[in-house]
Amino acid sequence: MRTIYADKDTKGQRIDKFLLKYMNNMPRSFLYKMLRKKNIKLNGKRAEGSEIINDGDKIDIYIAEDKIGEFIKEEKIEKTGRDFSVIYEDENIIVCNKPTGLPVQGDDEHKKNSLNDQLIYYMYEKGEYNREEAKGGKPSICNRLDRNTSGIVLFGKKFAALQAINEALKENGIDKFYMTFAKGNIENEREIKLYHRKEENKKVRIEDSFFDGAKEIITKIKPIKKLKNATLCEVKLITGKTHQIRAVFEYIGNPIIGELKYGDEKNNRYYREKYGVKNQLLHCYKVIFRDIGNDMEYMRGREFLAEMPYIMEKIVKGESI
């Protein structure tokens, strides 16, 4: 038998989901069998599985201690590189700057060296992450950038912080701004409403009116600086869908420089040969916390900036008119 006391870092979870993370090697069917047999109690009463855990709650697990030990699989924290830079950090959150080429989550090429892996190892190396002390809660990134998009990524160190940040992102309580170079001349600031759907070919389809399975997307574009054959733009995402910015710029006839899926090959060749551009020039440069609740209210009104990658600065200086 084991007793666990919930705290502010584990509150807000369903008890069944919490226990499946805490005993990460336990079959799901076995957990629900234990719940049916009244072998798991919450504050002295039978747990059904759907209850939400609160700070200070007592969870009694009436399973043999050696069996519980078998259900808790030790997590191996693998050493990683460190390609990100820290913009801001406290006990709840890391605001970091991701370079181009680094995936936020593991893929076939970066199975153990994604940004998420690097941030977890960064915490572990500082002595801030211990799986047993975290009671199964695992730190994680909150917003995603495409592998070849650089800029700000938010990382929640604790479950309560993760929950608050993810909710704020979902409800547009956190504003995200990007810098990009678009082909041609964009004269005026505009808000663009279109419809978006992911396709099977790993691209997205965008139209100006609704079509089957499509969702509305809203993108704000503001020209910042006119260059010789391009425009430096600030982009604000009102919605956040796969490839949204990249596909919208193609749709309006001003594809992003360096863009391979939604770009202009002739334009890309010019910037590849002159500046060595190999991927889309898209950078999440600013994040503003407008409305965020729970334990993260202290972040309201905070603004964070990520410096522009060197190659983008080089283009501004070399192409200015």
Pick the last residue of a domain from 39, 71, 103: 71
Q: Once rounded to an integer, what is the mean pLDDT over residues 78-82? A: 92
Q: Do 235 and 318 lie in a common domain?
A: yes
Q: Do 135 and 200 lie in a common domain?
A: no
How high is the pLDDT of residue 111?
66
Q: Once rounded to an integer, what is the mean pLDDT over residues 103-131? A: 85
Pick the last residue of a domain from 122, 150, 170: 170
| Relative orientation angle of helices 28-36 and 15-22, to the nearest 10 degrees | 130
200-233 residue pLDDT tens = 888 999 999 999 999 999 999 999 999 988 999 9
Q: Do 145 and 251 lie in a common domain?
A: no
Residue 299 belongs to domain with CATH number: 3.30.2350.10
19-76 residue pLDDT tens = 998 888 899 999 999 999 999 999 999 999 999 998 899 999 999 998 888 888 877 8
Q: Give me the number of domains the chain comprises.
A: 3
Q: Do 177 and 272 lie in a common domain?
A: yes
Unique residue bearing structure tokens 């590849």: 272
144-201 residue pLDDT tens = 999 999 999 999 998 889 989 999 999 999 999 999 999 999 999 999 999 999 998 8
How high is the pLDDT of residue 198?
93
Model pTM score: 0.86
* DSSP conformation letters of 125-136: HTT---TTTTTT
Pick the last residue of a domain from 170, 189, 224: 170
Residue 26 belongs to domain with CATH number: 3.10.290.10
Q: Do 138 and 235 lie in a common domain?
A: no
* DSSP conformation letters of 245-295: HHHHHHHTT-PBTT-SSSS-HHHHHHHHHHH---S--EEEEEEEE-S--GG
**Is residue 1's pLDDT more than 90?**
no
Range of the domain at 290: 172-321
